[in-house]
Amino acid sequence: MTTLSFQRVLVTGGAGFIGSNFIRSASARHPEWQIIVLDKLTYAGNLANLADVRERITFVRGDIAEPGDVRPALRGVDAVLNFAAESHVDRSLLDAAPFFRTNVTGTDVLLTEARTAGVRRFVQISTDEVYGDCSGTTRHSVETDALRPSSPYAVSKAQADERVLASGLNFVITRSSNTYGPFQYPEKIIPLFVTNALEDRPLPVYGDGSAVRDYLHVEDHAAGVDHVLHAGRTGEVYNLGARLEVAGRTVAETILKRLGKPASLVRYVTDRSNHDYRYAVDPGKAEALGWTKRWSFADGLEATIAWYTKNPGWWQEIKGSAAYRLLMQDWYGQRVS
């Protein structure tokens, strides 16, 4: 197996949840790296996520869909890791335009500029949602499966993957299952449920709560991306998953029990349209490279709950903003009584 090495890397979306955790992990693994972070600092981008590694990075505020922002950030770069994305399904159902601009146009711009700059490796961070719903079966999605996305978000990520596959660059693609952990914006299920529980607010569970997801701790996700960056075979796709399936209602009940909150805080709400009820990937291909997850769901969820409990200032500032309150009202206002 050939293992590549790098000196100067560009991490797009590095002020976001997964990107910032990857940088934290990579800074420890690769002290020789020069890390450039390109981030637009949208609602989910937060420089506070990088406070403990700020001296290790060069931060550039910019938009991956703008060549004028991307081109200077790529100077001298060996590898690009594209974490930048609009990533929330619910938001994509309200307004799909930002998803196609960032996820598709932005990826196109990055690919074009990376080719011109002579980048040696391009890593596209994708999602298991491109495979579509696996409910009604016991099978797990593999990398050669046809893509059947069912939300604007998933469609935009599938289109981005197709652009990468046709780019002719030295690339690899990772498709991860649901990722959770510290610094995750509290619109996603686990930080939303944890912070709502801490505030004694309802935990909105879609439908009957039976939709299942495979939950991967962000440190395991970061390690998987790092492994694929160095050892992945050019032109290949690698699934990253935890080999487990947890229902939404179980997530809610577990969080409430851990925090000593009443089960009555669970609110079953009107399901969203085209809701995929099961995602499950087979990560065997990545495991064959030598990557394995470290976190069990029980331990990972415990650590995540503890982080949000100990860092109320981080999430209270977000949840107190007008933009966050407007999203919750627009999305859940007619769902939660």
Please report which residue ranges of 30-137 form alpha helices under DSSP H: 67-73, 89-94, 97-100, 106-117
- The residue assigned the tokens 């999305």 is 331
Distance of CA 105 to the CA centre of its chain: 18
Q: In the structure encoding, which two tokens stand for residue 175, read together?
A: 């498709």
Structure tokens at 221: 């996700």
Map tokens 């069990």 to a residue: 296
Give me the DSSP letters along 124-167: EEEEGGGG---TTS---B-TTSPP---SHHHHHHHHHHHHHHTS
- State the residue for tokens 């309802």: 202
* Known catalytic membership, residue 226: no
Please pick, among 86, 113, 129, 287, the residue that the annotation labels catalytic: 129
- What is the distance of C-alpha 62 from the center of its chain? 19
Buried b (16+ CB within 10 A) or exposed e, 290-311: ebebebebeebbeebbebbeee
Distance CA 60, CA 57 (A): 10
CB atoms under 10 Å from CB of 178, counted, come to: 21
Q: Give DSSP secondary structure letters for 184-252.
A: --TTSHHHHHHHHHHTT--EEEETTS--EE-EEEHHHHHHHHHHHHHHPPTTEEEEE--S--EEHHHHH
DSSP state of 278: B
Catalytic residue among 113, 128, 187, 276: 128
79 neighbors 10 (Cβ within 8 angstroms): yes
For residue 287, indicate whether it is catalytic: no
Whether residue 215 lies in the annotated active site: no
Q: Which of 153, 206, 238, 279 is catalytic?
A: 153
Question: Catalytic residue numbers?
Answer: 128-129, 153
